[in-house]
Amino acid sequence: MQNSSLPSGGSFGPLSPFINPYLTRISAKGYATRSICDQVCILKMFGRWLKRTGREVRDLTEAVACDFLRRVSRGSYPKEAAPAALRRLLEMLRQIGATPAAKAARPSPSERLTCAYERFLFKERALSQETVTGHRCFVRRFLSEKFGSGPPNLSKLRPLDVTAFVQRHAHRHGPAQARNLVAAVRSFLRYLNYKGLVDRDLSLVVPKVACWSFSVGPKHLAPAQVRQLLHHCDRSTAVGRRDYAVLLLLARLGLRAGEVVRLNLEDIDWENARITVCGKRGKWAQLPLPADVARAIARYLRHDRPRCASRRVFLRNKAPIDGFKSGRAISSIVKAALAKADVVSARKGAHLLRHSMAMDMLRRGASFDEIGEVLRHKCSKSTSIYAKVDLQSLRTLALPWPGRVR
């Protein structure tokens, strides 16, 4: 929407000086014309309401916005878009200093303890945002169930509290998430002991989740299924070409979902056909960029990637236009591609293609050390999961037994 098409400035009350900057901002985020018109309607009503109630821009808070929405709930305006539009407006006003920053609520003792633990995970353990977020969720639940809303009296923590919490919650999750629960609780209890907040290491009593690592091989696709997956990706659309480039990165280089999300424009060295990825714990690695992967990424960047300030290679296709927030978006791309290609798999996340590449390397005669190097495993134990190869695959490689009677 062009700014010249806006109504006269006075119709927005005290918001009038800020409407054009707001529209410039949301236009850059890729909002459709219809959505922008809805937001203009909302801001016009909000500005007039502010004027009637004698409020200025400096008076705006979340409480004022909620009061407006409650009082005009029966009016004729785009109700579904209103809360988000007011939230974006308030965020912009605070960024430019037109409205005071939000008053931070005083954190509870449990929240202060959780925040200190998060800082430890970021600074000392160099864990990813996604891992820290998962740990925080479990730790908050643990503290809440033990201490409620009161201060955490850590001296009252007993082994039975730990085992009971794990037993209550582990069965509600799948094997992988149950292991994440156990890892989070164990990590938090070690932190408490490290900081001297408890007099003994309670992490030793955390129950283990059964995991028969070598009972079956990792879930993976056969090479023909990977080709089928890529073949059925719709490359006639911008989103399809983006997804095709993502799938190629997963299938050819075995990247993790988070590594695809964090990939920036400057991480691709086109002249030397190399790509730099930020792996686990912030470790960087350079990988060769295969020609078909380079072509797919280049086509997406030239013709399909929306223009925006983000440096991420892969962007959302819906407003607000920005990079993906987490690896779940990449896993969703894989899941949709599996369904479209009619490929049946027990596992549907992004790691499926990483495992598939490793198993294909193993079939072609690569050693475990070579596989571990390509996948950038920190220790050989991570690569050892590929030692369990199904017998049917081995039969295709085996030579006939000498002297076998035909």
The token pair at 188 is 């938090």
Q: Is residue 316 flagged as an active site residue?
A: no
pLDDT score for 182: 94
- Catalytic status, residue 305: no
Alpha helices in 96-158, H assignment, sequence order: 109-123, 129-147
**Among 169, 186, 252, 351, which one carries the catalytic annotation?**
351
The reported pLDDT for the residue numbered 5 is 46
Run of H or E residues at 261: helix 257-261
Query: In this structure, what are the phi and psi dihedrals at residue 285, rounded to the nearest 5 degrees?
Result: -150, 145
- The one-letter code for the residue type at 268 is I
Predicted local distance difference test score (pLDDT) of residue 360: 87
Q: Quote the pLDDT of residue 296.
A: 96
Catalytic annotation, pick one of 88, 186, 262, 354: 354
Active site residue 140: no
Q: Which of 44, 146, 241, 377 is an active site residue?
A: 377
Full pLDDT tens readout for the chain, 406 residues: 444 444 444 589 999 999 999 999 998 888 888 999 999 999 999 999 999 999 999 999 999 999 998 887 666 667 788 899 999 999 999 999 999 988 777 888 999 999 999 999 998 888 888 889 999 999 999 999 999 888 999 999 999 999 999 999 988 877 778 889 999 999 999 999 999 999 999 999 998 876 655 455 568 899 999 999 999 999 999 999 999 999 999 999 999 999 999 999 999 999 999 999 988 777 888 999 999 999 999 999 999 999 888 999 999 988 889 999 888 899 999 999 999 999 988 888 898 999 999 888 888 888 888 888 888 887 776 776 666 654 445 455 555 656 555 5
Catalytic pick among 135, 146, 256, 355:
256
Per-residue pLDDT at 7: 47
pLDDT, residue 404, reads 54
Tell me which of 29, 48, 136, 280 is the catalytic residue.
280
How far apart CA 344 and CA 340 sit, in angstroms, is 10
Distances (CA, A) of 286 to 109, 151, 255, 350, 373: 43, 47, 12, 20, 12
The verdict on whether 386 is a catalytic residue reads: yes
The neighbour count for residue 81, using CB atoms within 10 Å, is 17
